[in-house]
Amino acid sequence: MKPIQIILHLNLRLTLAAVLLAGANLFAQDTTNVSAPSLFMTPDKTPPSPELLMWRKEFGATHEQRMQWWRAARFGMFIHWGVYSVPAGVWHGTNITSSGGEWIMNRGRIPVADYQAFTKQFNPTNFNAEQWVKIAKDAGMKYIVITAKHHDGFAMFHSQASAFNIYDATPWHRDPLAELAAACKQAGIKLGFYYSQAQDWNHSGGAAAGSKTGQLLIDKQNHWDAAQQGSMDDFIDKVDVPQIKELLSNYGPVAEFWFDTPVGMNAERAEKILPLLKLQPDTVVNNRLDSKKSTGDFQTPEQKIPPTGIPGKDWETCMTMNHTWGFRAYDHDWKSAETLVTNLVDIASKGGNYLLNVGPTSAGEIPEPSVERLQAVGAWMKINGEAIYDTTASPFAKQLPWGRCTKKVADDGTILCLHVFTGFWPKDGKLLVPGLRNKNTSAALLAGGKELQTSATAGGLVVAIPATAPDKISTTIVLKIKGALEIQQP
């Protein structure tokens, strides 16, 4: 038996010294699962956690293969939909604004029984899986991740593990995840699931985050209702494990699995869940399963774009169009289509993915302001999508003064996609690509293919561009470079 197997069979309860020795021995004996010794060390050189050792043993060897589609996709739709869409951010006449609409049970300290009563009003008869998938596809999105269960513990699928689900507890009696899976398959869109593995405010033993609004609690686990109290380990055994098995067994290929807020998720609890992921050997997983956020294939910055990306890591920025994830009736502060497009360009230029959220209503409709903005993004993507899909981060060390750059590798060189934001379009008709020393280049507008003249200067390559920007948001210029890329970095 190999050292890592000993670790797993002892439920990861070895001492820290033994864990480190096991990691070292594993690397010496079996190099098929890792590419370098650094895989057994964290970025700050602290000892690797048992969860991290287990993740790399079980999933490290397939990471690159599993991530190929994800890196090419670059753009996906997040869907936060649940019974919280019924109160829509309002409890007892008060607009709960301290967090998103999906947090209303926690922020409003709604008792379990009162919250469960919302299910009787949850009847999304206007839900149309094909329409939702079409909205995503027309926007240029390549995958969808939907909340199969959020922190309120309500399953948005027909679960045998708990009657607190959309099929059994509502008058609707349908399984939207099954319908979405069928629609995604038909449209060629990949489907993924969000699942709150730790926080669950409905089932006894589920974790709860601390209060931000000052209400009284009844225990150190941040519960506010006696019905929530119980063993977290029992909760994971009786709710999490069977429901995750259902999600990974009953809905066809699961492209992405998204855990969240790992309150109380120690090594032993993570160990109960990690092996389940083998039910879908091709799925990619985010980094929020365990409390140290040490496992998973990619990082998850939320509501922000890292200034320089996350070097050496895959990452996915998730972001709302307004201020809330789940539907909230009084949130009308929507980002513009221009902001959404420039965010997408910015993220792709830094090597990340953009998971853009919609929060459907209790009637089963994606709000019209979201649809309108996605249509505008889709119109831009129809022309410029090839400068986003299957690209890698900009090769330039500093942010370009007029926009962003994405890169593709060609058979005989490199393709640089220059994204010139309209507000920064050079008025003199000369676009300087700073530091670019390649002379054997060709340039053209991506829209229409009009060829552009280039000239080498001391400061870099200059591209002669039209007097006015062809696109009202961002214009793409394609530079084809033969041979090795030559950039004089500042």
Q: With 60 as the cut, is the pLDDT of residue 294 above it? A: yes
Query: Where in the sequence of the chain do the CATH 2.60.40.1180 domains occur?
Result: 403-482
Q: With 80 as the cut, is the pLDDT of residue 52 above it? A: yes
Cα 58 to Cα 4: distance, rounded to the nearest angstrom: 10
Which residues 6+ apart lie within 8 Å of 38 measured at CB? none
Of 86, 88, 79, 74, nearest to 124 (Cα)? 86
Answer whether 138's CB lies under 8 Å from 130's CB.
no
Alpha helices in 60-206 (DSSP H): 63-73, 104-107, 112-116, 129-138, 166-169, 176-187
pLDDT, tens digit, 9 for 90 and up, residues 407-442: 999 999 999 999 999 999 999 999 999 999 998 889
pLDDT, tens digit, 9 for 90 and up, residues 319-375: 999 999 999 999 999 999 999 999 999 999 999 999 999 999 999 999 999 999 999
Predicted confidence at residue 23, as pLDDT, reads 35
Of 464, 467, 424, 421, nearest to 444 (Cα)? 464
Answer whether 151's CB lies under 8 Å from 196's CB.
yes
pLDDT band, residue 228 (cuts 50/70/90): very high
Which residues 6+ apart lie within 8 Å of 34 measured at CB? 27, 40, 56, 60, 61
pLDDT band, residue 97 (cuts 50/70/90): confident
Answer whether 236's CB lies under 8 Å from 269's CB.
yes
Q: Which helix (H) or strand (E) holds 406?
A: strand 403-410
pLDDT, tens digit, 9 for 90 and up, residues 98-116: 777 999 999 999 999 999 9
Query: Where in the sequence of the chain do the CATH 3.20.20.80 domains occur?
Result: 67-387
User: For residues 187 and 46, which has the higher predicted lDDT (pLDDT)?
Assistant: 187
pLDDT band, residue 44 (cuts 50/70/90): low
Torsion angle (degrees, nearest 10) of CA 212, 214, 215, 217: 80
What class is the 403-482 domain?
A: mainly beta
Amino acid at the residue 473: I
Predicted confidence at residue 216, as pLDDT, reads 82
Predicted confidence at residue 240, as pLDDT, reads 98
Predicted confidence at residue 43, as pLDDT, reads 58
Q: 355, exposed or middle or buried, with CB in 10 Å at 0-12, 13-18, 19+?
A: buried
How confident is the prediction for the chain on average, in pLDDT? 91
Q: With 60 as the cut, is the pLDDT of residue 391 above it? A: yes
Tell me the CATH number of domain 67-387, given options 3.40.50.720, 3.20.20.80, 1.20.1050.10, 1.10.580.10: 3.20.20.80
Of 283, 400, 286, nearest to 353 (Cα)? 286
pTM: 0.91
pLDDT, tens digit, 9 for 90 and up, residues 248-270: 999 999 999 999 999 999 999 99
Q: With 70 as the cut, is the pLDDT of residue 145 above it? A: yes
